[in-house]
A and B are shown apart, each in its own frame.
Chain A
């Protein structure tokens, strides 16, 4: 199976300080990888590395078969859907406009600057908002939505890109259990139908176990182990997380 993401001894950080230290891992195409670890472990930085928002200082990083370099980033980025930890939504824009922003790479520059989006993009955006239960609120500005609703808009925006890779930083926080189940089902559908590779940062060990094909434990910027789904047990997760939390 080909790897969608490959890190080989990657170190990266900010202002001369390494946040990610010699991390190696491979995430096969069409799988769901869950990254867990304590606060400050470097999980968000790892996701930013995969998204090209942070460049490796050492080691090599390959995304969809391409070595990550500054000049290739734009090409890679449009294939990667990203849901940041604090969502990165534009508060003054409506839910629909935020979701449409996910199609910017496909829409002509001057068209998009005038906010003229093709009919098929608008239809897809509406459909995605329906999927996350926000069809009735699509014309409401994001600042008027609740925390959980905002999170759903961010998820719809990421799906709007029709991504080959979806990177999600604590995507399922603030959502009720029914919505979590709906969205995890959607993620699995995405993986099964389109072969989308999904990398999620997650705190909830139950969700990590239920959805992850493999689980990576990150601690102090280092990879402390990658466990395939078949090896994942509650005992293992609790032990690993307890070790991490010590």
Chain B
């Protein structure tokens, strides 16, 4: 009975919100010819964009890489302070509040802030990726730390180790697999989100995507999207290799 009521509420909200937003499925089907026109304008992709696109996507990858590394380094202490099995409310509440605040803005809005602060270019992009990473990855990290078994923490604590030693010798090693997995996930996510940071002047392939979209040069846009697609696939594949190699080792 309770399940029925729950699903009923979900359905009712779905209908009400759809009506409120004037969502009409027939608009989707009516728009298919527009899509066909878009494809027609996009094909064939403009191969003269290959070199510019390759250089730009490399810049995007570098933005994502540096931003992820910096974000991870800053996230870890905050995540540790946020873990209930390590610290009391006195530390947890402010640490989690900081992470939540940082998570509130998506990286695109952070990019706007940093473009205003440091000017256009990849540095603004790096800072934007870093800030969002701290907030998002920090949360994943403290959840991973809280998920470890209590016994290693108790065992190391019982040796008379202090808090820093307990974190170094029990909490982080026990959570290491999850932390690595999350780091890889965050990097993959940041590669995708970094592709549009250039829309607001924060460097990378987004600058060209935004420019050519505005000028309706869809064949160039398609080429850049294809380059982005290939880059993301390569990154995903490398991530799988790293997971298989490192995580498989720890399970053997």
Contacts and interface: CB of A to CB of B under 8 A. Distances in A.
A104 B154 contact: no
Interface string A115-141: 000000000000000000000000001
Contacts of A80: 158
B161 A51 contact: no
Interface string A133-151: 0000000010110000000
Nearest to B167: A113
A102 B151 contact: no
Interface residues of B, number: 25
B161 A113 contact: no
A17 B161 CA distance: 29
25 contacts: A52-B158, A77-B157, A82-B154, A82-B155, A82-B158, A82-B159, A84-B158, A86-B151, A88-B151, A88-B152, A88-B155, A90-B156, A91-B174, A92-B173, A92-B176, A104-B156, A104-B162, A104-B165, A105-B159, A105-B160, A105-B161, A141-B250, A143-B251, A157-B155, A161-B160
Contact of B165 (A48, A88, A113, A154): A113
Interface residues of A, number: 36
Contact of A84 (B155, B164, B168, B251): B155
Interface string A75-104: 101111110111111111100000001111
A243 interface: no
Interface of B: 149, 151-162, 164-165, 168-170, 173-174, 176-177, 250-252
A5 B159 CA distance: 18
Given A77-B157, A82-B159, A91-B250, 6 more contacts: A74-B160, A78-B160, A81-B159, A88-B153, A104-B165, A154-B155
